């Protein structure tokens, strides 16, 4: 089973890359598939690639559901 999760763009890097964060963890990912991203945007991440931009409210709802299901740490900042 594959899972795509919302993450927050923390820093834009060179070569269509960005640093994203979720629950205190940061990772460098490709943003080549999504145009016009800015720091603070949320994207749906799957195997190292940002697939699409997502509204902050939808991202927070999804993260809350993942936390409730035990897939993410409780109370951590996304």
For the chain, the domains span 5-68
Q: 3-state DSSP helix/strand/coil percent for the chain, to nearest 5?
A: 15, 40, 40
Model confidence pTM above 0.95? no
Read off the pLDDT of residues 17-70 as tens digits, 9 standing for 90 and up: 999 999 889 999 999 999 999 999 999 999 999 999 999 999 999 999 988 888
What pLDDT is recorded for position 69? 85
The CA-to-CA distance between both ends of the chain, in Å, stands at 23
CA distance 35 to 6: 17
d(CA 51, CA 46): 7
What single-letter DSSP state applies at residue 39? T
Architecture of domain 5-68: Roll (2.30)
């Amino acid at each position: 089973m594959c899972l795509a999760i919302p993450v927050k763009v923390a820093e834009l890097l060179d070569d269509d890359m960005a640093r994203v964060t979720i629950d205190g963890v940061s990772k460098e990912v490709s943003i080549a598939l999504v145009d016009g991203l800015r720091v603070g945007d949320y994207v749906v991440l799957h195997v190292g690639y940002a697939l699409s931009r997502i509204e902050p409210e939808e991202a927070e709802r999804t993260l809350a559901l993942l936390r409730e299901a035990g897939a993410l740490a409780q109370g951590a900042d996304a």
